[in-house]
Copies of this chain bind each other. A is one copy, B any other.
Amino acid sequence: MNGAEALVRTFLACGVDTCFANPGTSEMHFVAALDRIPGMHCVLGLFEGVVTGAADGYGRMAGKPAVTLLHCGPGLANGLANLHNARRARTPIVNLVGDQATYHRALDAPLTADIDSWARPVSAWTRSAADPLTAGADGAAAVAAARAASGIATLILPSDTGWGEGGVPAGPLPTNPPPRVDEAALEHAARILKSGEPAALLLGGQALRERAAHAAGRVAAACGAALLAPQSIVRMERGRGRTYVQRLPYQVDQAMAALAPFRHLILVGATRPVIFFAYPGKPSRPERPDAQVHLLALPGHDCLDALERLGERLGAVPSAPGAGPAPALPKGQPVSPESVAQTIAALLPDQAIVVDESVSYGRGFYAAARNAAPHDWLQLAGGAIGEGLPMATGAALAAPGRRVVSLEADGSALYTLQALWTQARERLDVTTVILANRKYAILQSELAALGAVAGPTAQAMLDLGSPSLDWVALAAGFGVDAARADTPERLGALFQQANARPGPFLIEMAIP
């Protein structure tokens, strides 16, 4: 058995059964092994950013790692931006990078690159598989590392490690459950919450899943605390009948206003808020100057357990979140962020998975969908736009039977639009709504915030309208059916049709 085959058998034994791939010559022995051994679902991406973004979406929804298959250093490089996003999301991924044969590396053939330098900034664990004999063990260690760290384990596979004989498949390594927070942390949080001073729980990671958010809701009800979520949500189970958690705004002034009421901020699986970018004369931290930030649970802690124990300590009583009125379909309104958001919220399929990369035009979508049908909400965690379409692809593969609704700004979608082809190829139930305003609207507002009146050069650098992008043609080119909407009613009709049919569909929502 060669090293490649040992590695494939190891991944399968460790429960890793989905491979997002854009292979090259140095990975051909691994591809041949995948071909011989049944059990791995291999999903081809036309570009590596599709591969890594899909692995992020998959890992978030499946709760276990997929394996990528990337071709040498430049193949990894093309996937780095979405690995950066996945690292921020704490998504488990086994990141497999093929490389030159060990003895060929020093000869510096054209594709040879410093893979290690490129991989380390995004990886919780990196290793180069040096010997076919231990390739299986390396694979098992990579899976365990990805799971334990909730992060990216990069395994570099030189081609001769893949083709060399002597491979031994390995079984899964033991993993520990997430640690429980200690009593002192609970006691500290409880004391703050009972102090009567205004406080908020900032929930992140597992604390935004349905049961944990419900437990947080009981805590909040018992002591009057507010519930907040980070501006970038990795995965939240929300919608009608579930606990509502207010999301922190993106813009610095709005974020400061949202946090201004609170003397205390208690982190539960979230990191301390920080403004996305610095601005002259503005603070980097959004909380008020006299605020105290407290840690109840790190992202790796058992957040559900922590919130339930905190509720017991505070004497919180079981309760069900109230269900507000379902969102109503707008009628006869012009196209606006509000009318588009309300249309989607009103028609959202039950148990949809919403992937939100709608950037500036979609800032109101989250609030509008508060009482929409129960759904999961996924956002970009690392700020590197160009992940929405791939993430939707991976989420659909992880959750067959659920509709994925991919809300995309046109500028962001253009980075990795090749994902549409994978959606068509795998016949994934994804409805993509492109918010086509034909500009980098967020940058126009950032430039205006400098007090600058944009002249022709700046306008041209922030404009996507010359020439106009035709999303219906682009989707057709990749084999995805598509149509254009220019009113909320037409959007609603297309959205319903798209969600009722199998496979992907793209709606270009023309923003006036």
- A residues sitting closer than 8 Å to B (CB atoms) are 21, 23-26, 28-29, 31-32, 34-36, 40, 42, 44, 46-47, 49, 72-75, 77-78, 80-81, 84-85, 88, 100-101, 103-104, 107-111, 113-114, 117-118, 120-121, 159-160, 163, 232, 271, 274-278, 280, 284-285, 381-384, 386, 411, 414-415, 417-418, 421, 424-425, 442-443, 446-447, 450, 452, 454-458, 460-464, 466-474, 476-479
A92 to chain B, nearest CB (A): 19
Q: Which residues of B contact A280 (CB under 8 A)?
A: 160, 163
Q: Which residues of B contact A455 (CB under 8 A)?
A: 35-36
- A454 and B104 in contact (CB under 8 A), knowing A78-B81, A113-B121? no
Q: Which residues of B contact A74 (CB under 8 A)?
A: 80-81, 84-85, 382-384
Q: Which residues of B contact A446 (CB under 8 A)?
A: 25, 28
A52 to chain B, nearest CB (A): 10
Q: Which residues of B contact A472 (CB under 8 A)?
A: 477
Given contacts A21-B461, A36-B455, 9 further A-B contacts (CB under 8 A): A28-B447, A29-B450, A31-B443, A77-B84, A77-B384, A109-B284, A110-B383, A111-B383, A424-B467
Check B108–A274 contact: CB distance below 8 A: yes
Q: Which residue of B lies closest to A85 (CB)?
A: B74
Q: Which residues of B contact A103 (CB under 8 A)?
A: 278, 284
Check B108–A117 contact: CB distance below 8 A: no
- A109 and B275 in contact (CB under 8 A), knowing A78-B49, A80-B77, A81-B74? yes
Contact of A80 among B44, B80, B163, B447 (CB under 8 A): B80
A70 to chain B, nearest CB (A): 11
Of listed A47, A84, A163, residue having the most chain B CB within 10 A: A84
Q: Which residue of B lies closest to A106 (CB)?
A: B284
Contact of A470 among B159, B160, B415, B477 (CB under 8 A): B477
CA distance A466 to B456 in the complex (A): 43
Of listed A103, A108, A160, A277, residue having the most chain B CB within 10 A: A277
- A84 and B107 in contact (CB under 8 A), knowing A24-B443, A101-B278? no
Contact of A277 among B34, B100, B411 (CB under 8 A): B100
Check A160–B278 contact: CB distance below 8 A: yes
Q: Which residue of B lies closest to A415 (CB)?
A: B47
5 contacts between A and B (CB under 8 A): A74-B84, A108-B274, A111-B384, A114-B121, A469-B479
Check B421–A104 contact: CB distance below 8 A: no
Contact of A469 among B47, B284, B421, B442 (CB under 8 A): B421
CA distance A49 to B31 in the complex (A): 27
- A109 and B276 in contact (CB under 8 A), knowing A28-B443, A473-B474? yes
- A46 and B111 in contact (CB under 8 A), knowing A81-B78, A100-B277, A100-B278? no
CA distance A207 to B421 in the complex (A): 43
CA distance A213 to B47 in the complex (A): 38
Contact of A34 among B85, B109, B461 (CB under 8 A): B461
Check B477–A473 contact: CB distance below 8 A: yes
CA distance A117 to B454 in the complex (A): 34
Contact of A32 among B85, B384, B458 (CB under 8 A): B458
- A110 and B276 in contact (CB under 8 A), knowing A78-B81, A414-B46, A479-B469? yes
Q: Which residues of B contact A447 (CB under 8 A)?
A: 28, 31-32
Check B461–A467 contact: CB distance below 8 A: no
CA distance A31 to B274 in the complex (A): 25
CA distance A476 to B475 in the complex (A): 11
A-B CB proximity, top 9 nearest = A467-B479, A74-B384, A474-B477, A77-B80, A101-B278, A473-B477, A114-B121, A35-B458, A104-B278
Q: Which residues of B contact A107 (CB under 8 A)?
A: 274, 284-285
Contact of A471 among B80, B460, B477 (CB under 8 A): B477
Check B111–A121 contact: CB distance below 8 A: no
A439 to chain B, nearest CB (A): 11
Check B104–A84 contact: CB distance below 8 A: no
CA distance A53 to B464 in the complex (A): 20
A507 to chain B, nearest CB (A): 15
CA distance A356 to B471 in the complex (A): 29
Check B473–A476 contact: CB distance below 8 A: yes
CA distance A94 to B468 in the complex (A): 30
Q: Which residues of B contact A461 (CB under 8 A)?
A: 21, 23, 31, 34, 42, 44
Check B382–A278 contact: CB distance below 8 A: no
A441 to chain B, nearest CB (A): 12
